Amino acid sequence: MNPVLLLVDDDEAIRTQMKWALTADYEIVFAEDRAGAVENFKKKKPAVTLLDLGLPPRPTDPDEGLATLADLKALDEMTKVIVISGQGEKKNALEAVAAGAYDFLCKPVDPDELKLLLKRCIYLADLEREYRKAKENQRVTVFEDMMGTSPQMQGVFSFIRKVATTTAPVLLLGESGTGKEMAALAIHRRGPRKDGPFVPINCNAIPENLLESELFGHEKGSFTGATMQRVGLVETAKGGTLFLDEIGELPSSIQVKLLRYLQEQRFQRVGGRQELTSDARIIAATNVDLKAGINQGSFREDLYFRLAVLVISLPPLRERGDDAVLLAQEFLQKYAAQNGKANIAFVPEALRAINRHPWPGNVRELQNRIKRAVIMADSKRITEKDLELSTGIGFSSSTTLKEARENVEREMVQRALKRNLGRISSAAAELGISRPTLYELMERLGISRE
C-alpha cells in the first residue's frame, strides 16, 4: 500500500495539480479547511501532511493554517507536516517550522523538489513509527537504564539477571564507553545487597602513592599529610558493592593487598596494625586484555582468577545492529528536553551516518556527539554535519572492513587532537574514551604524540 498523504488546501487547482503529480506514489486525502484536516487526520493517520497556511475563513493571513498545524501536532506530536507558502509569506513559514512543521516549500511548488522532500519525510516517519511501535511492544528493552534490542545486549541483560542473585566477584570486559559501570550498577541494584552502598573507583585516575590509602584507608600520622584517620572505600562499601573500574591499571603492590582481601575479606589501613573486615562484593571492569597482562607480568594470575569467577563481555556499539539509531533517538529526546528544544529531529542522512559510523568511543561517544549537536544546532533538524560524522573519507572497492575502520578511526583521532591542540586528556574526553585507550589507538594507528 502507498503511504497516505493529507493535502490541506482550499485551492481546487492546486489540489488537482498535486493529485496528478503524486497519485502514483501516495494515497492522497484532501481537506479544504481546519475542521476537514483534523477529521481526515484522525481517520486516515497520514504519514505526511502538506499544509497551506492560507485557509478559510481567513485565507489571506496565516492564523488558520498555524492553528491547524497546532491541532495536528496535538493529535500526534511526531507527525510530519510540510508547510506550503507563498513567496511573500516566508516569514510565516519559518514561524510554522518553529512551531513544529518539518519543512516548508514556497509557491509555486517544484514537483521534483516536493517528491524528494516527501521521500525524506516518509523515511524519517517510518523510522520513528517503527521506534515507537517497538517501545509499545516492549521489544526495546530498558534494563536498569541500559537499552538495546540486539541479541548481544539481550544476552548481557540475561546474564546480569543471573549473576546479580549471587555475591561472587564479577569481571566486566569491554571497550571504553560500552557501559561497564552501568552494568555493575545493574548487578548491584538487582542483588541481595541493593540496600547497601555502591562505591565506584577508577583505578587509573588516582596516583599510585594514594591508591592504597583510597582503597583501604589510613591511620593518623601514617604518612606526611595524614592528619587524621581515614576510612577507605573497602570499608565504605561494607554490605554493598565496590566497583573497581580499569582494574588492569592496578599497580602490582596493590594487587597483592586486593588479592588478600578477596581471599579472606581482611585488610589493614595504611600505617595500621589492626586487622579489619568488610564483606563488600567486588565487581571489576577493564578494557584491556588481562591475560596478555599476565603473560607480560603486569597482572597477577591468581588475582585474575579471583576476580573472574563470573565474566560478562559487553559488545561494542558497532556490533549491536540498529541499537545505535535506537540510542540516538533516546539521547535526542533527553537532551532536547533538557535544552528546551521541542520537535527537534534527525534528518534521514544523519540516521544513515549514525548507522555506518564505527563508534570507536561506543555509547559514550554517541551520547556526547548528540548532546553537543542538540546544543549547537541552529535549526530543528540534526544533520550529519551537526554530529560531525561527514568525514569525507572515500573507500575503494578493494578496501577491507578492517582498513575502512582504521581509516575512520585515524581521521577522528587526528581531528580531535588538532581541535584540542594535542592535549590527550581533552581529545580522549571528546572521543568518549579513556586516556590509555587513546594512547593505544594512537600507537596502533601510527599517530605521533607530538
Cell numbers describing residue 197: 552502598
Residue from 160, 142, 158 nearest 327 by CA:
142
Q: Where are the alpha helices (DSSP H) in 298-446?
A: 301-307, 323-338, 348-356, 362-376, 401-419, 424-431, 435-445
pLDDT tens string, the chain, 450 residues long: the values are: 788 999 999 888 888 888 888 988 899 999 999 999 999 999 999 989 999 988 888 888 888 989 999 999 889 888 899 998 775 566 787 788 778 888 888 888 888 888 888 888 888 777 777 766 665 554 556 788 898 888 899 999 999 999 999 999 999 999 999 999 999 999 999 999 999 999 999 998 888 888 999 999 998 888 888 888 889 999 999 999 999 999 999 999 999 999 999 999 999 998 888 899 999 999 999 999 999 999 999 999 999 999 999 999 999 999 898 889 889 988 998 999 999 887 788 887 788 889 888 898 999 999 999 999 999 888 888 888 889 886 444 444 445 656 667 777 777 788 778 777 777 877 887 787 777 778 878 877 778 765
Rounded to two decimals, what is the model's pTM?
0.64
User: How many Cβ atoms sit within 10 Å of the Cβ of residue 423?
Assistant: 13
Residue 395: the pLDDT is 47
**CATH number assigned to the domain covering 4-136:** 3.40.50.2300
Cis peptide leading into residue 151 (ω within 30°): no
Give the pairing of strands 381-382 and 146-148. Answer: unpaired
Q: d(Cα 249, Cα 202) in Å, to the nearest integer?
A: 9
- Which residues lie below 8 Å from residue 401, measured CB to CB, with a gap of 6+? none
Q: d(Cα 399, Cα 397) in Å, to the nearest integer?
A: 6
Q: 3-class SS at 277? A: strand
Q: d(Cα 283, Cα 242) in Å, to the nearest integer?
A: 6
Q: d(Cα 240, Cα 122) in Å, to the nearest integer?
A: 50
Give the pairing of strands 281-286 and 170-173. Answer: parallel
Identical fold between 4-136 and 323-445:
no
Domain ranges of the chain: 4-136, 142-313, 323-445
CB-based burial of residue 52 (10 Å sphere; 0-12 exposed, 13-18 middle, 19+ buried)? Answer: buried
Instruction: Quote the radius of gyration of the chain (alpha carbons, Å).
Output: 28
User: How many Cβ atoms sit within 10 Å of the Cβ of residue 428?
Assistant: 23
The backbone torsions φ and ψ at residue 204, rounded to the nearest 5 degrees and listed phi first, read -95, -10
What class is the 323-445 domain? mainly alpha
**CATH number assigned to the domain covering 142-313:** 3.40.50.300
Residue 370: the pLDDT is 95
